Chains A and B, each alone.
Chain A
Amino acid sequence: MPDQVGLELIATQLGDAIPGSVLETEFFRDQASLHVDPASVRAVLGLLRDQHGYRALMSVHGVDYYPHEPRLGVHYQLLDMSKVDRIAVKLRVPLAEAVVESVTDDWPTANHQEREVYDMFGVEFEGHPDLRRILMPEDYEGHPQRRDFPIGGEPVLFTHNDATSPGWTR
């Protein structure tokens, strides 16, 4: 992990390269995170890869910050394999315009992971080559990992209620 000073340095450099891109830095439990402006996420990730050596995108997480606004969050876990160094890039988008630029062109590994975030939270990834649901059925309604989506919110389907229950067999 970069230490706190290193994180601030990276944040300053990113802020100089793309004004307004870094909103906040967070250093929690020895893990460094950059909170970035959703509009500049692809550029920030590109800079971190090309100038700071974070060449591997290990994971993309979706988070719902309900009841806080903006509600939805997308986290990118970057890794520098030569220095064994990790940094997280986090962004928040409101529910009404949950659109983030896709990084699948830069990082093919993000393909499945962005689809999962789209499926579970409803964040649209602009420019994703194949943005479909991945774990839930194609015609499922709603995004089940949102905090206001109830557990047991889906009726169990039997032959007798198959035609009437809303959702995925209609």
Chain B
Amino acid sequence: MSAKADYRRMEDSITLSPLEEQIAAQRSGPVSAELLTLNIGPHHPATHGVLRLLVTLEAEVVRDIRPIIGYVHTGIEKTAEDKAYWKVIPVIERMDYLSYYFNAMAFCGAVETLFECEVPKRAQYLRVIHLELNRIMSHLVWLGTSALDLGAMSMFWYCFREREMILDLFEQSSGQRMHTRYFQVGGVIEDIPVGFAEKVREFIAIMPGRVDQYNDLLMRNEILLQRLRHTCPLDEQSLLALGVTGPLLRAAGNPWDLRKAAPYSSYEDFNFKIPVGTVGDNYDRYAVRVAEMKESVKIIEQALDGLPEGPHITTDRKIALPPRHELATSMEALIHHFKLVTEGFRPPPGEVYFPIESPRGELGCFVRSDGSAKPARVHMRDPSFVNLQATGPMTRGSYIADLIATLAMLDPILGGIDR
């Protein structure tokens, strides 16, 4: 059998034109237009990752769309079951590779819930600072690549210029630009270095002006406006039924944001607004995210102003490593250090679900502990994975060009979808 036949056989169950008969039946006369099945991806710049779409077109109108995923499935959840809890953090961060602080936060939050561990206030504020920087960074990548899809190339450079500033900040606080392993169970790995706060203040002084610049560049662009306004709207009820959360739901007018609704990590201390849209078209999805960047800046500023003194990680020696200097003088600290490094900690048996608001919606981490030093099950409810189901309802009946715009506004991260 030829290689080509093998390849087709692997995808036996994917019907290429499932709607052909249905559409033919709906018409009273004979079929006038031909249905065309078009394969987009998995390697295509407009799919924002290795996403494959099978699109059934009637002329230029999308009749059906099927997302096919799994091309970057790396079995991170399986890997996590074979690692001590603290070693899971680096692999978890690599799921949704644009919001690594969020992945770590969801996992650490779940484990802290298992332990009923109190996170020091300073650590919570440091987490908020990094989470919100990460949110801006994720939205910048989204804005740059989305504008690129819509034909505005220069936006990419401007967005990545600001993103670079954020990555430099991450490098300063943790030594890494991406996948920083900064969040630990019980707090953060290290206190921020001298000069970090000043650098962050420099950044947040610049950022709101830059957001205005993006808006000036894009929102008077006739081409962009025509491609975003009134394209592919989806109402709030359908979005809720599909489980869509985050900016996509807020664009349809539902102000659901876990930071406000069920605050975690001291979000209740900060004063910020939830931007919402009205009709839930692509323009609203754009506007909500851009407005969110400015709100994130406000949160960072308040967190820096109110940054409390105190430890940056819990003082519970059964969870967090003792400070380095104690090892030289305290036998007990040495034993704790040895046990934590060789074996890791053992959370009490139980199952918890810890949801947070990631840049793309509700990111929930389910952790099951069986009392051993390794998690018995780690599952991420990744917002991109769930939101992707909305592509069909959003784009059916619209032009294929609007499909590309919608996909950009959907902001799927395939690392998070496939895990």
Contacts and interface: CB of A to CB of B under 8 A. Distances in A.
Interface of A: 28-29, 31, 33, 55-59, 61-64, 75, 77, 81, 84, 86, 88, 90, 107-113, 116, 120, 132-139, 144-145, 147, 149, 151, 168-169
A33 B368 CA distance: 14
B17 interface: no
18 contacts: A28-B350, A58-B243, A58-B355, A59-B379, A61-B377, A61-B379, A63-B368, A63-B379, A81-B254, A109-B386, A110-B243, A112-B389, A120-B77, A136-B70, A145-B78, A147-B81, A168-B10, A169-B6
A84 B357 CA distance: 14
Given A75-B353, A111-B389, A112-B388, 16 more contacts: A28-B350, A28-B351, A28-B352, A61-B379, A62-B379, A63-B376, A77-B381, A81-B256, A84-B261, A108-B243, A112-B386, A113-B386, A133-B70, A139-B10, A151-B78, A151-B82
B262 A84 contact: yes
Contact of A59 (B11, B262, B366): B366
B366 A138 contact: no
Q: How large is the interface on B (under 10, 10 to 19, 20 to 34, 35 or more residues)?
A: 35 or more
Given A64-B377, A138-B12, A29 B352 contact: yes
B255 to A, nearest CB: 10
B355 to A, nearest CB: 7
Given A109-B389, A138-B13, A55 B352 contact: no
Interface string B365-386: 0101000000011010100011
A137 B10 contact: yes
Given A61-B379, A135-B418, A108 B242 contact: yes
B194 interface: no
A131 B266 CA distance: 41
A144 B75 contact: yes
B364 A77 contact: yes
A47 B403 CA distance: 37
B101 to A, nearest CB: 21
A71 to B, nearest CB: 12
Contacts of A136: 70, 73
A61 B352 CA distance: 11
B249 to A, nearest CB: 10
Nearest to B67: A112
A36 B73 CA distance: 32
Contacts of A61: 353, 366, 377, 379, 381
A110 B386 CA distance: 9
Contact of A29 (B113, B244, B385): B113
Interface in B63-101: 69-70, 73, 75, 77-79, 81-82
Nearest to B110: A29
B217 interface: no
B261 A77 contact: no
B75, B242, B350, B353 interface centre (most CB from chain A within 10 Å): B353
Nearest to B418: A135
Contacts of B81: 147
B358 to A, nearest CB: 13
Contacts of B362: 58
B274 to A, nearest CB: 13
Contact of B70 (A86, A113, A134): A134
Contact of B366 (A29, A56, A75): A75
Contacts of B11: 138
Contacts of A62: 379
Contact of B240 (A29, A56, A110): A56
B419 interface: yes
Contacts of A63: 351, 368, 376-377, 379
A29 B243 contact: no
A48 B281 CA distance: 31
A135 B241 contact: no
A62 B78 CA distance: 12
Contacts of A56: 240, 243
A111 B366 CA distance: 19
B350 A29 contact: yes
A164 B355 CA distance: 44
Given A59-B364, A136-B73, A109 B242 contact: yes
A56 B242 CA distance: 9
A112 B69 CA distance: 10
Interface string B387-406: 01100000000000000000
Contacts of A111: 389
A72 B388 CA distance: 27
Contacts of A147: 81, 376
B290 interface: no
Contacts of B303: none
Contacts of B118: none
A62 B377 CA distance: 9
Contacts of A151: 78-79, 82
